[in-house]
Structure 1
Amino acid sequence: MTENAIEIKNLTKEFGDFKAVDDLSLNVKAGEIFGFLGPNGAGKSTTIRMLCTLAQPTSGSATISGYDLVKDAAKVRENIGLVAEKMIMYDALTAAENLRFFGKLYRIPKVELERRIDELLEMVNMQEWKDTQINKFSTGMKQRINVIRALLPEPKIIFMDEPTLGLDPQTTFSIREIIRDINKKGVTVILTTHAMVEAEALSDRVAIIDHGKIAALDTPENLKNMISDENTTIFSVKITNLTSHLIESIKNLENVTALAQQDDHTLKISATGENALNIIIDSIRAKGGNIFSITNSNESTLEDVFLALTGKEIRDHASEKAAPTSHGHGAKAQARVR
């Protein structure tokens, strides 16, 4: 039986009347890449902060590498590394000086520290930039140093909070390859993201989280199979004069299982039945809607799973800031998950 690197039981974090994390329970297996997928404000970063001992849980418990999150906080910190969403470095220092600074905080002996610095810089192809000031680096180069900074203490578990956020495609690909390399060395990786492709490409298992709760947890393939049905089709319909009244009328159709608004003119609709498309088209036209285009796909994605489970798309909230005072629970999910 595989040992669990992390065990979480009924973990909750409240800010006044707002529950950022709501009764969370799950296990993370040692050696896996585990993804938290959800929009900003869903509770991903708050969960990570608690598991890294940066925030106290309101209730519930967790063990990290066998150590109690609260009672054994110092031991927990000895076994983890953190790549926070915000880069933790000093621009006036060189790459090596930054790594030495943090290595000394970990009390790594000097000879051993220099060995690790060289080894880690080589891993991310940054050896030639060792003695260059960080402020001369591109964002992607800084993120590489940010990642290996968290690897200095040789953690058993590394937490990565939106590690590719704001990076260009080439750098994003590079960081994802680094994550895979880290995992191949036996390190358990906990990844938070709102990028569907990232969650699917990297994670052994994915927890879809919304409003602080786990909506579903499984392998990416099994999650997609949840809504796979030969009678179910997912449509993107562009309507030039889309109104809230029209959206409600489509949502209330018997064969529509889930609906989300992608932009000012486009709806993403999951529907069942042989005549689903004709029924939707007739309903839109009957309400005076002008259809500009329709595309459909029978291959489910993680975005479709999230839509079916929550009634909205992850990108609905991808640019929002998590804030207890403005967090809303939104519309109740309309999905009937199969």
Structure 2
Amino acid sequence: MTETAIELTEVTKRFGSFTAIDNLSLRVERGEIFGLLGPNGSGKTTTINMISGLSRPTSGGVTVLGVDMLVDPQRIRRSLGTVPQENALYEELTAEANLRFHADLFDVPRKGLEKRITSLLELAQLDERRKSRVSTFSGGMKRRLALVRALLHEPELLYFDEPALGVDVQSRRALWDRILELKERGTTVLITTNYLEEANVLCDRLGIIDRGRLVALDSPSNLRRSFGDTVLEMRTQPVPAEDIVRKVRALPGVVSAVAADEWLKVTVEGGAAVTGKVVTAVVESTSLEEIQSREPSLDEVFLSLTGKELRE
């Protein structure tokens, strides 16, 4: 049986009359990369604060790595590694000095520390810059250093807020590779991100919360399939009228139909048979000039569940 790293049971968190988290139940298994998504104000930060022991729920239970966070939150904090949005590095110190300072904070044994620092700097491809001040590093280098700093005390659970924030494409891919390596080593990784390609590449499962409630929980591929199996984007002339949109929406197997400028975007479930009916309905009513077909994206799933853009 898979062991549980994080379990929230019927958790509610109120701030006065405002309910930030509303009866939330959620499990994260050991060794998985779990993504927590939600628009601004959805309750992500509040949830993370309760998992980290920085906040107590109004009601319900929070267990992390087998420890009841309501009873002994201090016990678990040394088992957590955190990489916040802001890297929180000491810019005037060297990369090596930043790691040594972190080691002192977390009481990392001196024996073997030098070897561990060297190993982590090599992992981050920063060993040649170990004596360089962090202020001279690029954004991607700082992000990699923040990651290995969080790993220095060998946490069982790593929380990563916006992994690819502010890094270029090459650094982003290197960072993703490092996170996937952590999974192979058995580390549990919890990610919050507004970058859905990142969630798709990294996460075994995604939990989407909105207004403090869990609205979806599944693998990225299953979430996309739940929204339909095909998205048709059709350019018509003239612009699609509302009566055409209503006609298409009424067809069996159509999940959604939206007109934007010259384009009619239709999501269907049922493959070629439904697709054929949609195209037939459109050409009966207007001139079809261009058609494109693709799989649904996580962005579309998110928008359909929350009614909001993720970056809102």
The alpha-carbon distance between structure 1 residues 248 and 60, as it changes in their structure 2 partners (threshold 3 A), is: farther
Q: 1:248 to 1:82 in 2, by over 3 A?
A: farther
Matching residue of 1:303: 299
* Match of residue 175 from structure 1: 175
Which runs of 5 or more residues in structure 1 are unaligned? Answer: 321-338
Partners in 2 of 1:166 and 1:247 — Cα distance? 44
Aligned to 2:232: 235
What is the distance in 2 between the residues matched to 1:51 and 1:238? 47
* TM value normalised by structure 1: 0.78
Give the number of aligned pairs.
305
Q: Which string of whole-angstrom CA distances, capped at 9 and with x for unpartnered residues, describes residues 192-235 of structure 1?
A: 22322222221222223333322221223333332445xxx423
Q: 1:253 aligns with which of 217, 224, 249?
A: 249
Distance in structure 2 (CA, Å) of the matches to 1:33 and 1:309: 22
Report the Cα offset of residue 247 of structure 1: 11
Counterpart amino acid of residue 158 in structure 1: L
Q: Check if 1:9 corresponds to 2:19.
A: no
Question: Do structure 1's residue 269 and structure 2's residue 266 form an aligned pair?
Answer: yes
Q: How do 1:51-200 and structure 2 match up within 5 A?
A: 51-200=51-200
The answer for unaligned runs of 5 or more in structure 2 is none
Q: Is the 8 A contact 2:80 2:155 kept in 1?
A: yes
Q: What is the identity, as a one-letter code, of the residue corresponding to 2:162? A: E
* 1:28 match: 28
Per the alignment, residue 210 of structure 2 pairs with 210
Shift of 1:116: 2.3
Counterpart contact for 2:204–2:220, Cα < 8 Å: yes
Deviation at 1:99, TM superposition (A): 1.3
Report if the CA contact (8 A) 2:94-2:131 is conserved: yes
| Counterparts in 2 of 1:108 and 1:182: CA distance versus 1, 3 Å | same
Shift of 1:16: 4.3
Q: Could you report, residue by residue, the CA deviation over 1:147-168 in whole angstroms, capped at 9, with x for unpaired residues? A: 1111121111111111112321
CA offset at residue 268 of structure 1?
A: 4.2
Q: Report the CA distance between 1:280 and its aligned residue.
A: 5.2
Q: Are 1:258 and 1:307, in contact at CA under 8 Å, matched by a contact in 2?
A: no
Deviation per residue, 1:71-130 (Å, 9 max, x gap): 211012021111112211111111111111121111223344333221211111110111
Name the % identity. Answer: 39
Partner of 1:333: none
Cross-structure match for 2:42: 42
Q: Cα RMSD (Å) of the superposition?
A: 3.2
Normalising by structure 2, report the TM-score: 0.84
Deviation, structure 1 residue 17: 4.3
The whole-number CA distance in structure 2 between the counterparts of 1:124 and 1:10 is 39
Structure 2 Cα separation of the partners of residues 84 and 205 of structure 1: 21
The structure-2 alpha-carbon separation of the partners of 1:251 and 1:101, relative to structure 1 and needing over 3 Å to count, comes to farther
> 2-side partners of 1:296 and 1:276: how far apart?
12
Does structure 1 conserve the Cα–Cα contact (< 8 Å) formed by 2:33 and 2:188?
A: yes
